Amino acid sequence: MDLFEYQGKQYFARFDIPVSKGGVADTDDEAVAQAEAAGYPVVVKAQVKVGGRGKAGGVKLAENADEVRFHAGNILGLDIKGHIVRRLWIENSSDIAKEYYASFTLDRPNKVHLGMLSKEGGVEIEEVAVTNPDAIARISIDPTVGLDLQTATDWVERADLDLEARDQAAALLVKLYRCYTEGDCDLAEINPLILTTDGRVHALDAKVTLDDNASFRHPEWEAFAWGETEDPREQMAKERGLNYIGLDGTVGIIANGAGLAMSTLDVVNQVGGTAANFLDIGGGANADVMAAALEVINTDPKVKAIFVNIFGGITKVDDVANGVLEALKRVEISSPIVLRLDGTNAAEGRAILQPHLSDRLIAEPTMLDAARRAVTLAGN
């Protein structure tokens, strides 16, 4: 789960990482109240999970209440690359002397943690990596060892941060590493990490991705559910416990297993169609799961055909077949359904469906045949 900037800063604060004083606002009145509390001048920042907010007019400086009200009014409702601004973060403005970059993430090829620190912050780190790779000081951290203050101090020196920033930066990096590991982040990034004109080091932005697999030990993450998905289809799928990603095409996809679901998208695309979604029903495809999956796809007006692609492993194909029939009793499905069923108990599953097949419920022997049929029915 990606966090909004304000959520990331709230998360940082739990680990004692210094951030600017500020608060959230959903209306211009609330924005003024938060500005009064934070102290002028303030920065009014759009909360969207997409880069380039500043260029889009989503970040404005305000000296007084009138300016806050003016900017908040303009920014709320603004469309930034398809993301509508519904919440603002208002924080006390910082006098910036220097901008740095700091992050921790997993170095997947080497299976260790990777820290990156640069004295060239405030710009895309991918850009720095290309134009001036020597400006990024990397550190590999063995998870069994962790990051201590001495190592962080050496790292900060190697990154050549300004002398007056080094002690504070080293201490902050140790806290950020704790946030990344104990806080179960996939990514904890500060860009920019700033040195103020009065000599303080703190996080001016926060980019945090939480590891969904760790949610069982972080009840506090429930507070971050606000605005998690904008797509009403994804919202509905989430409520039903389905692994769904909305796309723009006309063929609804239901498959078991992430790899097969991805592959189903690929095949639909190769035979000239477009997928309306990614939907992995996982290992336990019973009637409830199948009904929920069909129901979510059914709410998508763009869908003209549905392709159910199942390869039974743990999932038994006869259970899937019963699930489809049960689902059809519960939900009126507006598009024809094309089924491809293989694997554990496939023969039993096909036999169950046989008497119910029609021009609305079609079985095909292979994945490619089924994809072609679904794409034809969708009119691509």
Partner 1 sequence: MSIFVDENTKVIVQGLTGSQGRFHGLRNRDYGTKVVAGTSPTKAGTDVDGVPVYANVKEAVAATGATASFVVVPPPGACAAILEAAEAGIEFIVCITEGIPAQDEALTYARLVHEFPGTRLLGPNCPGIISPGKCNIGITSGDIALAGGPVGIVSRSGTLTYQALYELSSQGIGQTTCVGIGGDPVPGTNFIDCLAAFEADPETKAIMMIGEIGGSEEERAAAFIADHVTKPVVSYVAGVTAPPGRKMGHAGAIISGSQGTAQAKMDALAAAGVTIALNPTEAGNAMIEIVKAMGL
Q: For binding to partner 1 (CB under 8 A), which residues are involved? A: 106, 108-109, 111-113, 126, 142-144, 181, 184, 186, 211-214, 216-217, 243, 245, 247, 255-263, 265-270, 275, 278, 280, 311-314, 342-344, 366-368
Q: Choose between 166 and 178: whose C-beta lies nearer to partner 1.
A: 178
Neighbours of 217 (CB within 10 A): 8
> What is the nearest approach in angstroms of partner 1 to the Cβ of residue 222?
17
The catalytic position among 189, 244, 295, 364 is 189
Residue with token string 């926060």 = 206
> What is the nearest approach in angstroms of partner 1 to the Cβ of residue 140?
11
Residue in 251, 299, 301 with CA at minimum distance from that of residue 272: 251
> What is the nearest approach in angstroms of partner 1 to the Cβ of residue 314?
5
> What is the nearest approach in angstroms of partner 1 to the Cβ of residue 2?
9
Q: Choose between 54 and 143: whose C-beta lies nearer to partner 1.
A: 143
> What is the nearest approach in angstroms of partner 1 to the Cβ of residue 350?
15
Containing 347, the helix (H) or strand (E) segment is helix 346-353
Beta bridge pairs of residue 90 = 23, 44
Neighbours of 57 (CB within 10 A): 13
Q: Choose between 167 and 212: whose C-beta lies nearer to partner 1.
A: 212
Strand locations in 42-155 (E):
42-46, 59-62, 79-80, 83-84, 88-92, 96-107, 112-118, 136-141
Judged by DSSP in three states, 308 sits in strand
Long-range Cβ contacts of 185-189 (<8 Å, 24+ apart): 185/104, 185/209, 185/210, 185/211, 186/105, 186/106, 186/210, 186/211, 187/103, 187/104, 187/105, 188/103, 188/104, 188/105, 189/101, 189/102, 189/103, 189/104, 189/105, 189/125
Whether the CB-CB separation of 268 and 374 falls below 8 Å is answered with: yes
Q: Which two tokens stand for residue 94?
A: 């910082």
Judged by DSSP in three states, 108 sits in coil
> What is the nearest approach in angstroms of partner 1 to the Cβ of residue 215?
9
Distance CA 335, CA 198 (A): 64
Whether the CB-CB separation of 353 and 363 falls below 8 Å is answered with: yes
Distance CA 164, CA 354 (A): 76
Q: Choose between 68 and 374: whose C-beta lies nearer to partner 1.
A: 374
Q: Choose between 35 and 244: whose C-beta lies nearer to partner 1.
A: 244
Q: Choose between 223 and 258: whose C-beta lies nearer to partner 1.
A: 258
Query: Is residue 189 among the annotated active site residues?
Result: yes
Query: Is residue 364 among the annotated active site residues?
Result: no
Q: Choose between 72 and 281: whose C-beta lies nearer to partner 1.
A: 281
* Phi then psi dihedrals of residue 373, to 5 deg: -65, -45
Residue in 67, 116, 124, 114 with CA at minimum distance from that of residue 90: 67
Distance CA 308, CA 294 (A): 10
The catalytic position among 6, 101, 177, 244 is 101
- Catalytically active residues are 101, 189
